[in-house]
Chain A
């Protein structure tokens, strides 16, 4: 185990197996790029997957399958695999640089967000959220899951502090009000499912935040 706030074991396993939904996988990938110990564990789990694959009961392939693959290999001989261009936010962990980014949107004083054009899953999407020192989000809960990984700076909730690389899993049960505690702005990547629900009349004044 490693220090700090990490994804749950079952979420790391789902990532390793490739069964996690794309937006959630993007946030986990960002976390792994910052936390080498967890990255190593996910790589170790690939070996478990390899062993389970090796142990599977084979399903017979059509007779011409090999010939068809070799023909396709022949057809594209020498083809260079295009690599995805990287976006211009050089401070991001590498997995996030592979996605195009939307424009920054103002959410309130000292608070802005931009979309990460990663694959969506139903209503679940990925955003970058930047909040200035000493600022806090309106107190809110979620219509679905909210996964957060800190990229720069730090924030604290009522119960815990989250530093660079830390991973927070919140769901519909969690009502929280993260507050930035670092001297610099805090930048997070967030997978958000469902509507954000604000608590109280003051929160409802923060309409742009709801549109995240």
Chain B
């Protein structure tokens, strides 16, 4: 479909078994509306999507609705999934990310939030960082090299509503320290993913 996809597939190492299996399940939904494949995706991701919204402070019922809506989007948009651009978990995370504000702010807003579209055409020269981040093993090893503190701020930054003040409260740190800790974690992650040897330097 896209010129750069074949190149990308050639240089891309095999993904881990579980991640790859989820990719195939989404493709089965796209190709054949495969309910069995969807059921297995649902079994894995729906309880995690529920947990994701509960981390942001939503009650269980609202989090269940959110998980069901997100999984319905997986069913409807399965054709847009491109395993050469994103792993299943990444793609589903982005669906959840694009929905979360609409749900957490309980006003009947009709205007859409800016969405991230993983399936859209990449820029002419796709940045290498994307290829590297989508290499599950490399990302795993990069994240393993972050300190426990850094992983903790990342996790809170991804899951909390009002993340900065919430992180400050939880970790009992001044706001400025939280921001600089996030900044350090991000720069380290960038360096690890940028570095060809996965952060040997």
Instruction: Please state if A53 and B96 are interface contacts (CB–CB under 8 Å).
Output: yes
B9 at the interface (CB under 8 A from A): no
**Can you list the 10 inter-chain pairs with the closest CB atoms, starting with the nearest?**
A40-B127, A58-B47, A44-B133, A50-B90, A29-B114, A50-B89, A36-B123, A18-B97, A9-B186, A50-B93
Instruction: Please state if A44 and B129 are interface contacts (CB–CB under 8 Å).
Output: yes
Instruction: Please state if A72 and B89 are interface contacts (CB–CB under 8 Å).
Output: no
Contacts of B179 in A (CB 8 A): 8, 10
Contacts of B82 in A (CB 8 A): none
Instruction: Please state if A26 and B134 are interface contacts (CB–CB under 8 Å).
Output: no
Report the bound CA distance from A81 to B115 in whole Å. 15
Instruction: Please state if A61 and B190 are interface contacts (CB–CB under 8 Å).
Output: no
Where chain B touches its partner, the secondary structure class is helix
B1-57 residues with Cβ-Cβ distance < 8 A to A are 35, 38-39, 42-43, 45-52, 54-55
Q: Which of A14, A59, A99 contacts B163 (CB 8 A)?
A: A14
Contacts of A160 in B (CB 8 A): none
A203 at the interface (CB under 8 A from B): no
Of the A-B pairs whose beta carbons lie under 8 Å apart in the complex, a sample of 15, sorted by A's number, is A13-B154, A13-B182, A19-B163, A25-B113, A36-B125, A43-B86, A46-B94, A47-B86, A48-B133, A48-B158, A49-B90, A54-B89, A59-B47, A69-B42, A98-B112
A139 at the interface (CB under 8 A from B): no
- State how many residues of chain B have any CB contact under 8 Å with chain A: 76
Instruction: Please state if A52 and B123 are interface contacts (CB–CB under 8 Å).
Output: no
Report the bound CA distance from A28 to B64 in whole Å. 30
Contacts of A81 in B (CB 8 A): 76
Instruction: Please state if B112 and A84 are interface contacts (CB–CB under 8 Å).
Output: yes
Instruction: Please state if B126 and A51 are interface contacts (CB–CB under 8 Å).
Output: no
Residue of B nearest to A72 (CB): B72
Q: A17 to chain B: closest CB distance in Å?
A: 5
Instruction: Please state if A70 and B35 are interface contacts (CB–CB under 8 Å).
Output: yes
Report the bound CA distance from A50 to B122 in whole Å. 20
B157 at the interface (CB under 8 A from A): yes
Q: B72 to chain A: closest CB distance in Å?
A: 5
Given known pairs A57-B51, A119-B109, the reply for A48 and B92 (CB within 8 Å) is: no
B100 at the interface (CB under 8 A from A): yes
Instruction: Please state if B182 and A17 are interface contacts (CB–CB under 8 Å).
Output: no
Contacts of A48 in B (CB 8 A): 133, 139, 143, 154, 158, 189
Contacts of B127 in A (CB 8 A): 36-37, 40-41
